Structure 1
């Protein structure tokens, strides 16, 4: 039987390495012509994560746990490195030392995802797999903020003349901001494991909202790919945000299964 730590590690690396590679691409596209050094650094990270993806293809669920732990450490170093690069770019932007087409919130957003990825690898190498109630809330809080950010980016990158879509994106932004505040309150209350109904309701509410946003992103992606709406949204970025919504739904299902099992 395959080791669940191995299976989860490979899954995390497969998903997040592609995300990190795309972050580097999006940042590079947002820099100006004068920022060649930052563009070159971003391109180096694209190469780093392409190599990780290539190496990942050599592993399987039956790979020895020690090999996966070593690989996790290697990928962890890459995730920390790209996090550091993103924070450097954010610092330069906030100090007005550079001016780019990358929103500061977007740079912060992608750095949070790099930190999340690095932390997941660290946890897996520590043997942490089963979620705890406080982890369920914090994980949802992280992804709810990601979804709220996505809605804001979509709203700002759509052409102002796309009024209906802009309004829809703004509505999603507001809805997910409210879910973020609700999650912060619940995290402060720190419900214990016996308070399962509260967590059930929390996950169910989030699932409904994420499905709605996921479907909106899917429609937007299809319209962008068909050149049927006016925007500055790269088709790959549209697909990128769609995949992250799908990922959040998978995680909600994992937590839901864990809560169901804990009742038995």
Structure 2
């Protein structure tokens, strides 16, 4: 029988290594022509995560746990390294030492995802698989902020003449900001309240909203790929944000299943 830690580790690495590789690509495309050192560093990270993806193909869900844990540790170091690179780029940008086409919030956004990836690998190597009640809320805070950011980026990267789509993106940004604030409120109430009913209701609300945003992203992606809307959005970036919404929905399903199991035990 497959070890759940092995299966989850391989799943996390498969998803997030591709995301990290694409982050490096997007950063490289946003630098100006004279920022050759930063572009070269980005290309090195593209190569690093491509090699990780190639090595991942050698593992299966029946692989030895210790070998997978060793791989997790190596990938953890790569995630920490790209996090450090992203924070360096953000610092240079905020101090006006470089001018790029990468929004500071976008650089912060992708550095948060690198930190999340590194932390997931660390938790898995510590044997932490099932989410705790604390993690349910905190992970939703993380992903709700990611979804809100995506809506803001889409709104800013669409051509201003795409008024209807720009308005839709702004509405999603507002909706996810409100869900984020609600999650923060729920987190502060949690020690004094009935956690399971509150969390179940909250997850259901999130699921509906994320599914709606996912569908909007899919439509935008398809229109961009077909050259039917005007924007500065790279087709791969459109697909990238769509996949992250899909990921959030999968995680909500995992949390719902975990909460259902906790209810049965009590």
TM-score bin (small chain): over 0.9
Q: Where in structure 2 are the equivalents of 1:31-110 lying within 5 Å?
A: 31-110=31-110
Q: Which runs of 5+ in 2 are unaligned?
A: none
Aligned counterparts of 1:52 and 1:160: Cα–Cα separation in 2: 39
Aligned counterparts of 2:97 and 2:2: Cα–Cα separation in 1: 50
Aligned counterparts of 1:65 and 1:119: Cα–Cα separation in 2: 18
Q: Deviations over 1:29-60 (max 9, x none)?
A: 00000100000000000000000000000000
Structure 1 residues 62 and 193: alpha-carbon distance in aligned structure 2, compared to 1, 3 A threshold: farther
SS in 2 for 1:190: helix
| 2:237 matched residue in structure 1 | 237
SS in 2 for 1:58: coil
Q: Where in structure 2 are the equivalents of 1:125-136 lying within 5 Å?
A: 125-136=125-136
Aligned counterparts of 1:57 and 1:192: Cα–Cα separation in 2: 46
Q: Deviations over 1:76-131 (max 9, x none)?
A: 00000000000000000000000000000000000000000000000000000111
Q: Deviations over 1:184-206 (max 9, x none)?
A: 11111124795311000000000
Q: Which runs of 5+ in 1 are unaligned?
A: none
Aligned counterparts of 2:5 and 2:214: Cα–Cα separation in 1: 28
| 1:162 matched residue in structure 2 | 162
| Contact 1:79/1:118 (<8 A) preserved | yes
Q: Where in structure 2 are the equivalents of 1:208-227 lying within 5 Å?
A: 208-227=208-227
| 1:195 matched residue in structure 2 | 195
| 2:204 matched residue in structure 1 | 204
Shift of 1:262: 1.2
Aligned length: 264
Aligned counterparts of 2:99 and 2:189: Cα–Cα separation in 1: 41
Aligned counterparts of 1:171 and 1:102: Cα–Cα separation in 2: 23
Task: Give me the CA root mean square deviation.
Answer: 0.9
| 1:182 matched residue in structure 2 | 182
Q: Deviations over 1:137-170 (max 9, x none)?
A: 0000000000000000000000000000000000
TM (norm. structure 1) is 0.99
